[in-house]
Homo-oligomer: A and B are copies of this chain.
Amino acid sequence: MRLGRGVEWAVHSCTLLAALADDEVLPASGLAEFFDLPPAYLAKHLQSLSAAGLITALRGPTGGYRLRRPPSEITLLEVIEAVEGGLPAFRCTEIRRRGPTAAPADGYPLPCGIARAMWRAEAAWRAELRATTIDDLIHASIPEIDPRQAHSTASWMSNNVRPAVGD
């Protein structure tokens, strides 16, 4: 079981976008530069975040992205599901209904107990991710950021944010 790299990219992008003022955006090219990521692949994931309503894209030469909602109202689960989709990790193919001993179709009124156990575990994973917001991640990280990175990030941001025109 493996989450795609896009999850890491999308969550980090959201935490960076959370640093913008209300009237600012950051272009996709800036996000790619900041994390040294391939722009085309990152753009695809930013589009997924936008399609899920988590970030807003402003078009045009001064365009860019910003969070659509306050970081305290965007959960880690939402970011992950925007990138990875919301399907369960365990896909029950009902092998209990196959083979020489299977009962007729009406013999299975309940979902398979094995699938239910697997999905209970996924619900626990999802609950934990739903309880963590982008704001929580930022507040946990701020005291841990190296002062040199904090300083260079502030300087980089001042050179790369754009005013949100035509919003």
Nearest B residue to A5, CB-CB: B93
| A96 within 8 A of partner (CB) | yes
Interface set, chain A 108-123, CB cutoff 8 A to B: 108, 110, 112-118, 120-122
Find out whether the CB atom of A132 lies under 8 angstroms from the CB atom of B146.
no
Interface of A is mostly: helix
Question: Is A33 close to B, CB under 8 A?
Answer: yes
A90 with B3: CB separation less than 8 A: yes
Q: B76 and A117: CB pair below 8 A?
A: yes
Interface: A20 (CB within 8 A): no
Question: Is A99 a contact of B33 with CB atoms below 8 Å?
Answer: yes
Residue of B with least CB distance to A126: B121
- Does the CB pair B146–A1 fall under 8 Å? no
Residue total for A at the interface (Cβ-Cβ under 8 A): 65
Known A12-B95, A152-B101: A120·B128 in contact at CB below 8 Å: yes
CB-CB under 8 A for A2 and B5, given A37-B95, A146-B108: no
Bound-state CA distance A4–B93 (Å) is 11
A115 proximity list for chain B (CB < 8 A): 8
Contact B95 A36 (CB under 8 A): yes
Query: Contact between A3 and B91 (Cβ–Cβ < 8 Å)?
Result: yes
Contact of A99 among B36, B100, B136, B144 (CB under 8 A): B36
